[in-house]
Amino acid sequence: MKALVLNGPNLNMLGVREPDIYGRETYEDLVALCKKAGADAGFDEVAVYQSNHEGDLIDQIQQALGTYDGIVINPAAYTHTSVGLLDAVKAVSLPCIEVHISAVEDREEFRQISYVRAACIKTITGEGLQGYAHALRLLADHLQRG
Ligand code: DQA
C-alpha cells in the first residue's frame, strides 16, 4: 500500500511563514511526520512532494496512477483557484483526502471555496500538521476496506 502526500505553494515555508496560523514546525518536520504516520497506518511507502507550481502538482497527480494507491493533498492557495487540480484528481480516480493545516472555514471569505473538495472522499481542517497523520489513517482505513 503506497500513499502520495502532495503539498502546494508556500508550504515549503512552514516554520517561517505566518507561524501564528501554521505553527513553528518546518516542512522537514512535516515530511518526517508523514513518513512515520504513514508507516504506523500500514503504508509500505509514503512519498511527500511539494511544489509552488500548479502544473507540477497536476503532473504528480497524473503520475500517481499505477504507482500509488491514494493521495493526501494540501493544495494550499490552489485549493481556492484550481479547476486543473480538481480535474486531475477526477482523472486518476484515486482516493484522495484534502488537508488544511488551518481552520479555513474560520478564515477569509476567499478561502471558503475548495475546488478539489468535490473529488475528495474527506476533508480535514484545523488540526495542524497532525491533520496529515489523521488523513493517512483515514486513507489506510479506506484502502483496507477495499
Ligand atoms: C492552507 C490554507 C490555504 O488557504 C492557504 O492558502 C495555504 C495553506 C492550510 O493548510 O491551512 O497556503 O491550505
Q: Specify the ligand 1 atom closest to the Cα of 8.
A: 12
Q: What is the pTM of this model?
A: 0.97
Instruction: List the CATH number of the domain containing 82.
Output: 3.40.50.9100
pLDDT in the model for residue 30: 98
- Give the three-state DSSP class for 104: helix
Query: Looking at the 3D structure of the chain, how many domains does it have?
Result: 1
Write the CB contacts of 70 (distance below 8 Å, at least 6 apart in sequence). 3, 4, 94, 95, 96, 97, 139, 142, 143
By alpha-carbon position, which residue is closest to atom 6 of ligand 1? Answer: 77
What average pLDDT does this structure show over 60-68? 98
Whether ipTM tops 0.90, in short, is: yes
In this structure, the number of other CB atoms found within 10 A of the CB of residue 23 comes to 17
Residue of 25, 57, 56, 50 lying closest to 130 (CA atoms): 25
> What range does the domain containing 58 cover?
2-145
Over residues 94-110, the pLDDT tens digits come to 999 999 999 999 999 99
pLDDT over 90 at 146, yes or no = no
Residue of 60, 57, 59 lying closest to 10 (CA atoms): 57
CA of 77 relative to ligand 1 center, distance in Å = 6
Using CA atoms, how far residue 63 sits from 1, 30, 141, in Å, is 16, 22, 23
